[in-house]
Amino acid sequence: YLNLHEYQSAQIMKDSGVNVPFGIAAHTVEEAVAAAKTIGDDDVVIKSQILAGGRGLGKFTNGLQGGVHIIKTKEVEDYASKMLGGTLVTKQSGPAGKPVNTVLLAKKMNLVKEFYFAIMLDRSSGGPVIIACSEGGTSIEDLAESSPEKIIKVPIDIRTGPSESEISKVVAGLGVSGDKAAAGEQIKALYNLFVEKDCTMVEVNPLAEDIDGNLIAADAKIGFDDNAAFRQKDVHAQRDHTQEDPREVAAGKWDLNYIGLDGNIGCMVNGAGLAMSTMDIISLRGGSPANFLDVGGSANVDQIKAAFEIITTDPAVKAILVNIFGGIMQCDIIAEGIVEASRSLNLEVPVIVRLEGTNVEKGQQILKDSGLELISAKDLDDAAQKAVASIA
């Protein structure tokens, strides 16, 4: 699914009737300084924009502690120069961190209470669930571990939307002290945004209350369903590919599903379930998968070649295991792709191939006639053992 930055999500929330702080995104130090002057206050909030939570408690690889700061306007140039172009590591970013190419300069709000609020898709209830907590502004994972009783979950019927009693339950769970009817309208606006924009998640941490009792979305994190990209083109056009693994971006262009892992045996499989099984058996036989790559059921020769190119961009890959169970996907098509990729890419790592199913004899003959040093396997377990042995 698609994630957007806070400044992008905040604008979408604002357009949907949600209260958000005034803010200006900046991509350069000069833009950051100008944004702070436009805000015009002595103090300003500067926030790193990355697609990972826990920014406030994160740390830059250059030593700067924290990705969110309340600073004097005269300090903006110094902080922006340290943040822009840096790499921020948080609990959710992974150890490599995420690049900071944008900072958000926001007006400092007089907030008296901070809550946690989210809407997510819940498999158990088969629809959206509103998650609310009377404490926010920090790691919800830590709070769930230390004080789970403070978190409420309210499943919503997707056909009817939240009822007044469900909205009241959320407002009570947050512990709102101001106008509860106005707070309820903000909850409704957030839910309507979730539905109308085809969201997979709307998270506000913190959802805060100012001195006048107004609810304000002081942070914004929204995920959008890729399947709805055709009707949310303006939203999906804002995708930031710099925050994603370039191999995943390349795979998406070829309609392939790729997830990079930290092993050394590349995997090319058709079907998510078979891919998971392949990785499990590699691990069982003492190996370590380098990726999850599902070519799907209708890949052509060019897509197979692209899959090999993506796998081999990982320098950790020392062998490639191809495991195909041909149903809709025909084994001869896979075989042609393997041969073409092996020749054009000049593969220097062992390639272990297990084919089964539709046109398997044709596929095996294509591999045999290719003259390439491919390692054939009779079944998945045999393939896993041969892959591990090839790099031992």
Q: How many CA atoms lie within 13 A of 322 on its CB side?
A: 31
Q: Is 203 a catalytic residue?
A: yes
Q: Is 166 a catalytic residue?
A: no
Question: How far is residue 68's CA from residue 106's CA, in Å, rounded to a whole number?
Answer: 11
Tokens of 89: 């590591």
Question: How far is residue 74's CA from residue 159's CA, in Å, rounded to a whole number?
Answer: 51
Q: Show the beta-strand stretches assigned E in the chain.
A: 2-3, 23-26, 43-48, 59-60, 68-72, 87-89, 98-99, 103-107, 111-122, 127-133, 151-155, 199-210, 215-217, 221-224, 257-260, 265-269, 291-294, 319-326, 351-357, 375-376
For residue 206, is the peptide bond before it cis, meaning its omega torsion is within 30 degrees of 0? yes
Question: How far is residue 189's CA from residue 191's CA, in Å, rounded to a whole number?
Answer: 5
**324 burial type by CB count under 10 A (0-12 exposed, 13-18 middle, 19+ buried):** buried
Name the catalytic one among 203, 209, 258, 336.
Answer: 203
Q: Kindly report the CA angle at 385 between 383 and 388, in degrees rounded to 5? A: 105
List of long-range contacts for 187-191, beta carbons under 8 Å, 24+ apart? 187/117, 187/130, 187/162, 188/162, 189/16, 189/17, 189/18, 190/13, 190/16, 190/18, 190/117, 190/119, 190/217, 191/119, 191/128, 191/130, 191/156, 191/161, 191/162
Residue pointed to by tokens 């009693």:
165
Are the CB atoms for 192 and 83 separated by under 8 Å? no
Torsion of CA 103, 105, 111, 115, to 10 degrees: -30
Beta-strand pair 2-3/199-210: unpaired
Name the catalytic one among 7, 116, 191, 258.
Answer: 116
Are the CB atoms for 343 and 367 separated by under 8 Å? no
Sheet holding 87-89, edge to edge: 59-60, 87-89, 98-99
Active site residues: 116, 203
